[in-house]
Structure 1
Amino acid sequence: MRTGFKASNIYLWLVFVILYAPILYLAYYSFNSGETMHGFDGFTWHWYREVFADTRLLIILLNTIVIALFSSAISTILGVIGAIAIHRLRKLQNQNALLSLNNVLIVSPDVIIGASFLILFTMLGIKLGFASVLISHIAFSVPIVVIMVLPKLKEMSPTLLDAARDLGATEWDVLAKVMLPFIKSGIFAGFFMALTYSLDDFAVTFFVTGNGFTTLSVEIYSRARQGVSLSINALSTLIFLFTLILVVGYYMISRRGQQANAGRKGRAADWKVPNE
């Protein structure tokens, strides 16, 4: 038993090493005073200063953040509405059908989604740029929000909503004062996951971006094709750290939501009248 436990730990650490070693290697050489990653000549902040001195890169960074914030906010609203609509369906067969359609967008290759949007925008005559990237990011972010919110809706007892209606609450009051506060941890988790996916997306954005507008992922790809520069290392390190902060924030919000649900269940159990 103990041997198997140790073997599983070794396997887990091996997986983490394989995943994070290239990222740490990239971040390590972002502080290299040399020009290449073949040898560490000395510590320097030069490549980070070069990143922040690049006006064009800062504009691209602003474009990326604006797209991520707008797409995640809009997709969160649409995803919450979609999750509530699916949850309110009475037939389980209809719920499973809609969930299957929702999950198809998640498991579909990004290349197919990007090519599909490119064809759609070309047919509709939509100019590739800010609008096309925003619409595409909203489209692949909505299913993620639905997946995050729907389990929280299923955790909610139907008697809670019935009790609110019996006390005179309108449907809007039930939604705003009962349902949304209960699932807020799932809403925040969906928002952060959509934000992370939007910031990191390359394949879909590569298809739908146009001249004069681009995002960080596409810009990094373009610069890497011209030759490896350690400024790319610095930029990639900053993006990784920002994404890591988002993931930690998502974890903390999810954990706080679980603790709050556990506390509510504990208080409800204390108020139960024992059967005589």
Structure 2
Amino acid sequence: MKKNNIFPKIYLALVFVILYIPIFYLIFYSFNSAGTMYGFEEFTFEWYEEVLQDTRIWIIVLNTLIIALLSAAISTILGVIGALAIMYVKRRRTQNTLLSLNNVLIVSPDVIIGASFLILFTMIGIQLGFVSVLLSHIAFSVPIVVLLVLPKLQEMSPTLVDAARDLGASWWQVLSKVILPFISPGIFAGFFMALTYSLDDFAVTFFVTGNGFSTLSVEIYSMARRGISPTISALTTILFLFTILLVLGYYFINQRNASRSSGMGVRR
């Protein structure tokens, strides 16, 4: 039995090695003084200094963060409303239809979504730039939030809402005091997933980005077309570390919510 249990661990370890070797390769050569992705010479922070002193890069970083935070916040609000609407639809057929429409947006290729938004914004006269990127990111993030919030709503017992209503709570009090606290782990998960998708997206953003506005994914693609340089490696390393911080933040929030839930269970 012990021998059989070793193989899944080895397989999982190999998967992680394959996934992370390219990232660590970039990180390693971001400290190469030779300025190439081979033949390591000396350890240096030169490329990080170059990135940190590049004002244009940091404007693009700021654009990316603003888009990501705004789109994540707005899509979380809309996703929670959408999940509540789907959950409390009375007709089962209508509920399944809404879920199917939500899932179609998730499985649709990014190229199709990006091209569709490009055509839409051109037709209705929205100038490509900040607004078009923000609207696009909100659109593809909302279905993700819905899928993460909906299972928490389905876990909640209907008797909680009925008990609150019997005690005289209004619908707003039921929503703010009963439903939202119960589904808060799903809300946080949806927010962080929407934030990650926005930071990571390239295909949709590439279609709807106009002149004078860019995000990190589009900028890195433009830089890579001129050849992989240590500057890109340094920028990638910074982004990788930022992503780790986001994951750790999400982990600690989940741990805190779990400890609070267990604490409430013990008190009861």
Alignment: residue pair count:
268
In the alignment, which residue of structure 1 is the partner of 2:236?
Answer: 236
**Residues 114 and 208 of structure 1 are in contact (CA less than 8 Å); yes or no, is this contact kept in structure 2?**
yes
Mapped to 2, the partners of 1:53 and 1:4 lie a distance apart of 53
**Residues 128 and 210 of structure 2 are in contact (CA less than 8 Å); yes or no, is this contact kept in structure 1?**
yes
Mapped to 2, the partners of 1:256 and 1:247 lie a distance apart of 14
In the alignment, which residue of structure 2 is the partner of 1:154?
Answer: 154
**Residues 51 and 231 of structure 1 are in contact (CA less than 8 Å); yes or no, is this contact kept in structure 2?**
yes
* 1:179-218 paired onto structure 2 within 5 Å: 179-218=179-218
* 1:91-240 paired onto structure 2 within 5 Å: 91-240=91-240
Structure 1 alignment gaps of length 5 or more: 269-276
Mapped to 2, the partners of 1:221 and 1:200 lie a distance apart of 12
Mapped to 1, the partners of 2:152 and 2:255 lie a distance apart of 13
In the alignment, which residue of structure 2 is the partner of 1:80?
Answer: 80
Q: Percent identity, aligned pairs only?
A: 70
Give how far 1:93 is off: 2.9
Give how far 1:259 is off: 4.3
Give how far 1:263 is off: 4.7
Q: C-alpha offsets along residues 100-132 of structure 1, whole Å, 9 cap, x if unaligned?
A: 211111111111111111111111111100010
Mapped to 2, the partners of 1:185 and 1:68 lie a distance apart of 20
Letter in 2 for 1:67: I
Q: C-alpha offsets along residues 129-165 of structure 1, whole Å, 9 cap, x if unaligned?
A: 0010000000000011111111111111111111111
Give how far 1:251 is off: 2.9
Mapped to 2, the partners of 1:168 and 1:215 lie a distance apart of 49
In the alignment, which residue of structure 2 is the partner of 1:29?
Answer: 29
Specify the SS of the correspondent of 2:225: helix
Letter in 1 for 2:75: S
Is residue 2:37 matched to residue 1:40? no
Letter in 1 for 2:201: D
TM-score (norm 1): 0.93
Letter in 2 for 1:88: Y
Specify the SS of the correspondent of 1:226: coil
**Residues 186 and 254 of structure 1 are in contact (CA less than 8 Å); yes or no, is this contact kept in structure 2?**
no
Letter in 2 for 1:132: S
Letter in 2 for 1:118: L
Letter in 2 for 1:53: Q
Letter in 2 for 1:34: A
Give how far 1:33 is off: 1.2
Mapped to 2, the partners of 1:101 and 1:259 lie a distance apart of 36
Pair 1:157–1:261, CA change in 2 (3 A): farther
Specify the SS of the correspondent of 2:213: coil
Q: C-alpha offsets along residues 6-29 of structure 1, whole Å, 9 cap, x if unaligned?
A: 111111001001101000111111
**Residues 189 and 253 of structure 1 are in contact (CA less than 8 Å); yes or no, is this contact kept in structure 2?**
no
Mapped to 2, the partners of 1:102 and 1:49 lie a distance apart of 44
Specify the SS of the correspondent of 1:123: helix
Structure 2 alignment gaps of length 5 or more: none
Letter in 2 for 1:73: A
In the alignment, which residue of structure 1 is the partner of 2:6?
Answer: 6
**Residues 193 and 250 of structure 1 are in contact (CA less than 8 Å); yes or no, is this contact kept in structure 2?**
no
Mapped to 1, the partners of 2:140 and 2:40 lie a distance apart of 40
Q: How big is the alpha-carbon RMSD for the aligned residues of Structure 1 and Structure 2? A: 1.4
**Residues 192 and 250 of structure 2 are in contact (CA less than 8 Å); yes or no, is this contact kept in structure 1?**
yes
Mapped to 1, the partners of 2:135 and 2:176 lie a distance apart of 27
Is residue 2:78 matched to residue 1:57? no
TM-score (norm 2): 0.95
Give how far 1:250 is off: 2.1
Mapped to 1, the partners of 2:22 and 2:67 lie a distance apart of 28
Mapped to 2, the partners of 1:209 and 1:244 lie a distance apart of 27
